[in-house]
A and B are shown apart, each in its own frame.
Chain A
Amino acid sequence: MPAADTVGTEVKPSRLTAGERARRTARGGGPRSAPAPLLAPALVAVAFLVLPLIGLIVRAPWGRLGPVMGGSDAVQALTLSLWTATAATVIALVIGVPLAWILARGNFPGQRLLRALVTLPLVLPPVVGGVALLLAFGRTGFIGRYLDSWFGLTIPFSPLAVIMAETFVAMPFLIITVEGALRSANQGYEEAAATLGATRMTVFRRVTVPLIAPSLGAGAVLCWARALGEFGATITFAGSFPGRTETMPIAVYYALENDPDAAIALSLVLLLVSVAVLVSLRDRWLRGGSVQ
């Protein structure tokens, strides 16, 4: 009896096109196409993410872009957003990187709790952050009260408040990126530096920081982008005074009521900035693999 008849179920050959055959020969591996139950939901996800952005581009008042963008409000909002986001990033670098080092390398009681607290703003609704800032630094807040009576310093509804709100929300992005890099960095280099007579601060400055520079850059860009898009905490803590505290996202929100074309134009600018951020991070993230 032929052997085939003894097999319970007969497997019918499918057709492998010449192209597919060549692809599998060259790269190895099995079928390229996704299984159908995965493919359909994946396509829905793509449509959901991409279609609104296409709508934005299609609906943009391309003819009126110049006048809309030239309006002093838009330029003011953009300028304010750019410099406050930059200031927030600088502050996050100055105080966030040392904190990241302590979280990554320190060994003290409450370290896990501290890490959880520090990363809380990542998951906290920004508007809650704004309320919290207001309660702390507002005129009657438990810190703001003294700033007001001792130094005559009123923070809420000032550009400083914008920077503080943005730092509060965006700094954790920098901290977790840098902390991850510090954890995975090869500490052998730091040991080698110590045997060469470098003090701990010299090791940090001349070895640790240069070694984690790519992650430091990525963390800073991420932090800056998050600060640029900050809305909830900013409007709660800093309000929306044109030229003083009205940042781009807030300007977009108000423009949508009065002048939808202006809102779309401003959104386009933010979209452009976001794309620029992605491009600057492309080497790290768009190639797939792990975030480090």
Chain B
Amino acid sequence: MIGERSGGLVVDAEVRRGGFTLSAAFTAAPGQVLGVLGPNGAGKSTLLRALAGLTPVANGRIALAGQVIDDAGTGAFIETSGRPVGFVFQDYRLFPHLSVLDNVAFSPRSRGLGKGAARSAANHWLNRLGLTGLADRRPSTLSGGQAQRVALARALAAEPALLLLDEPLSALDARTRLDVQAELRQHLSEFTGPCLLVTHDPLQALVLADRLLVLEDGRIVQEGTPAHVARQPATEYVAKLVGLNLYAGHADGPAVALAGGGSFIIPDHGQHGDVLVAVRPSAVVVSSQPPRSSSARNTWPARVVGLTLLADRVRLDLDGQPPALVDVTPAAVADLSLHRGSEVWLTVKATDLEVYTRDH
């Protein structure tokens, strides 16, 4: 837990926008990159807008670096222009009428520096991000990757205490994205304040974030390290993002009765109560006959309802008790002559089931 007196961000607030309400309580330590993951409409952008002061909180408070910047209780509110918050917008929002240099110099100028001093401050940041050659260009002549870097330089030139990145790489093509992602990782590690990175790309979140916050329907459904979230997703949405099958059920020693029908045998750790079971699609074995004898403890019949080619694998969508997504090789599809409607048997070892208690 981060105290309000440290350099971190402390949020415990409710934000309303239109008919939507976001309620979130979390902290972010200085130097930490907090990935905010969630589907469209989960409240990710609303959260960033509240932190930037573009939307005031309806209840609760936000404190940054030991200072309350918004408090619905006392009415305290620091306007956007007075907050030490840098915002890299999804669409960058580089001023089209200003050169790259003047875009980056915008904040130093707004904070009272003269034209010359502001430009030399801007040059420092352009230099640091390797953008010196672009100084005289207009934003309309930049590529997506360049515009993204300039937007980051412009936000950093304000020397913010908190950095907000809204889907920073979503406007880039796949190739550029990897390059920029690697660079962004380096720049974020040099940033000393807390940083919130909104994304709906799980890979980006795993690569860039120190900790993840998963938002769904205006509330936090999971919080933890990327490794933890990837192994033990708390909701269907997160499981889908990290590519796992997720089942809710009730554990009673070695048996789990699944909420959607069916059951699993699990290693007996004396677990009782509501649990989640995560299964990797590649951990499930598909066969055309019921396996006669095997060490696997879970076997059930299913029907193929869909096949999708994913690079070097085929993902099978299977209907059964329970349903499952399973990855097999294209060769296996041919050997078992799988097609829509095929009846198959699924097998998974008890030790391949990740069983954990449900928090929510």
* Interface pair B97/A211, CB less than 8 Å apart: yes
Given contact pairs A194-B80, A210-B95, a sample of 17 additional A-B residue pairs in the complex whose CB atoms are under 8 Å apart: A189-B93, A192-B87, A193-B95, A194-B53, A195-B52, A195-B54, A195-B80, A195-B81, A195-B155, A196-B155, A196-B158, A197-B110, A197-B111, A206-B106, A210-B98, A211-B97, A213-B97
Q: List 27 A-B contacts (CB under 8 A).
A: A188-B89, A188-B91, A188-B93, A189-B95, A191-B80, A192-B87, A192-B89, A192-B95, A193-B106, A194-B54, A194-B79, A195-B83, A195-B85, A195-B87, A195-B158, A196-B110, A197-B107, A197-B111, A197-B158, A198-B110, A199-B81, A200-B81, A202-B110, A206-B106, A207-B95, A211-B97, A213-B97
CB neighbours of A200 from chain B (8 A): 81
Within 8 Å CB of A191, what residues of B? Answer: 54, 80, 89, 93
Per-position binary interface string of chain B over residues 65-101, scored 1 when its CB falls under 8 Å from any chain A CB and 0 otherwise? 0000000000000011111011101010101111000
CA of A100 to CA of B80, assembled, Å: 24
For residues 150 through 208 of chain A, which have their beta carbon under 8 Å from a beta carbon of chain B? Answer: 188-189, 191-200, 202, 206-207
Expressed in whole angstroms, the minimum distance between the Cβ of A205 and any Cβ of chain B is: 11
Expressed in whole angstroms, the Cα–Cα distance for A197 and B91 within the complex equals: 19
Q: How far is the CA of A207 from the CA of B20 in the complex (A)?
A: 30
Bound-state CA distance A37–B81 (Å) is 60
Task: Tell me the residues in window 187-239 of chain A with beta carbons closer than 8 Å to chain B beta carbons.
Answer: 188-189, 191-200, 202, 206-207, 210-211, 213
Contacts of B106 in A (CB 8 A): 193, 196, 198, 206
Query: How far is B107's CA from A202's CA once the two chains are assembled, in angstroms?
Result: 11
Known contacts A197-B111, A198-B106, A192 near B93 by CB under 8 Å: yes
For chain A, the count of residues having a C-beta within 8 Å of the partner chain is 18
Is residue B250 contacting chain A, with contact meaning CB distance below 8 A?
A: no
Residue of B nearest to A193 (CB): B106
On whether A199 and B110 interact (CB within 8 A), knowing A194-B54, A194-B80, A194-B81, the answer reads yes
Complex CA–CA separation, A199 to B83 (angstroms) = 11
How many A-B pairs have beta carbons closer than 8 Å: the answer is 60
Q: Which of B5-55 contact A (CB under 8 A)?
A: 52-54
Q: Does B154 contact A (CB under 8 A)?
A: yes
Min distance, Cβ A135 to any Cβ of chain B, angstroms: 44
Contact B110 A195 (CB under 8 A): no
Q: How far is the CA of A196 from the CA of B87 in the complex (A)?
A: 8
- Complex Cα distance A194/B53, Å? 9
> Which of B80, B85, B89 has the largest count of A CB atoms less than 10 A from its CB?
B80
CA distance A209 to B154 in the complex (A): 21
Bound-state Cα–Cα, A193 to B89, Å: 11
| Chain B neighbourhood of A213, CB < 8 A | 97
Bound-complex Cα distance A213 to B93 (A) = 18
Please, which residues of chain B bring their CB within 8 A of the CB of A207?
Answer: 95
Note all chain B residues with C-beta closer than 8 A to A196: 106-107, 110, 154-155, 158
**Considering the chains assembled together, what is the distance between the CA atoms of A210 and B96 in angstroms?**
9
Closest to B104 in A: A196
Name the residue on B nearest A198 (C-beta). Answer: B110
Residues of A within 8 A of B155 (CB): 195-196
Q: How far, in Å, is B15 (CB) from chain A's closest CB? A: 16
**B153 → A minimal CB distance (Å):** 12
**Min CB gap A130→B, angstroms:** 40
- Please give, as numbers and ranges, the residues of chain B lying within 8 Å of A211 by CB-CB distance: 95-97
Q: Report the bound CA distance from A211 to B79 in whole Å.
A: 23
By a CB distance below 8 angstroms, the chain A residues around B107 are 196-197
Q: Mark A114-153, 1 if CB is under 8 A from B, else 0.
A: 0000000000000000000000000000000000000000
Which listed residue, B81, B89, B93, B97, touches A198 by the CB 8 Å rule? B81
**Residue of A189, A193, A195 with most chain B CB atoms under a 10 A cut-off:** A195
Q: How far is the CA of A210 from the CA of B95 in the complex (A)?
A: 10
Give Cα A194 to B97, complex, Å: 17
Distance (whole angstroms) from the CB of A80 to the closest CB of chain B: 37
A265 to B227, CA, bound (A): 85
Distance (whole angstroms) from the CB of B216 to the closest CB of chain A = 26
Give the docked Cα–Cα distance between A189 and B155 (Å).
Answer: 13
Across-interface contacts of B91 in A (CB, < 8 A):
188
Nearest residue, chain A, Cβ from B86: A195
Q: How far is the CA of A202 from the CA of B83 in the complex (A)?
A: 16
**A231 to B253 Cα, complex, angstroms:** 96
